[in-house]
Amino acid sequence: MIVEETELKGVVILKPDVYADERGYFFESYNKEKYNKYSIPSEFVQDNISKSKKNTVRGLHYQIGNFAQGKLCHVVYGKVLDVAVDLRNSSPTFGKYTAAELSDENHYQIWIPIGFAHGFAVLSNEAIFHYKCTQIYNKEHERALYYADKNLNINWKVIEPLVSEKDRNAMVFKDIGNNTFI
């Protein structure tokens, strides 16, 4: 497995060893021993799967307090642009983002630790997206950052994004106040 650090400390792209032949392919999507070497937790408490159409943007979501989540993300089918925004107040990259294309062809994963907002845009006709979480979902601790915030200037690589009402009405970066991480 190849692990690439991003410009945001703690966020890494994982490129697993994929064994392919005429039957298809095989790879380990998680191995506690290997992933712990890269500070990826050994305990996940919730797995989520979403299916989305082309041009869908989901995010930017995060949870605060005792329900803050780290996420290990990958694409089962299709292709997405996966985005993490640094919301750690004390970080030199506070307010910056990183993005990676994840697909069923490259099999890349992205580890997004606590302290980041997360979202993705579907670049293929449809995508099935899977992520493991270090904490259970809690609606009261959920927050959303506006995906099209001009201050973040994220290029989602989609035209006319399909976005939920919640995400269209999310807070802008300059208004997040205490809804961040230390």
Annotated catalytic residue within 61, 74, 107, 118: 61
Instruction: Confirm whether 35 is a catalytic residue.
Output: no
Instruction: Confirm whether 61 is a catalytic residue.
Output: yes
Annotated catalytic residue within 62, 97, 108, 131: 131
Nearest to 6 by CA among 63, 86, 123: 86
Is there a contact between 142 and 61 (Cβ–Cβ < 8 Å)? Answer: yes
For residue 64, give the amino acid letter.
Answer: I
User: Beta 71-77 vs 126-133: how paired, if at all?
Assistant: antiparallel
Q: Is 103 exposed, middle or buried (0-12, 13-18, 19+ CB in 10 A)?
A: middle
- The whole-angstrom separation of Cα 63 and Cα 82 is 17
Residues marked as catalytic = 61, 131
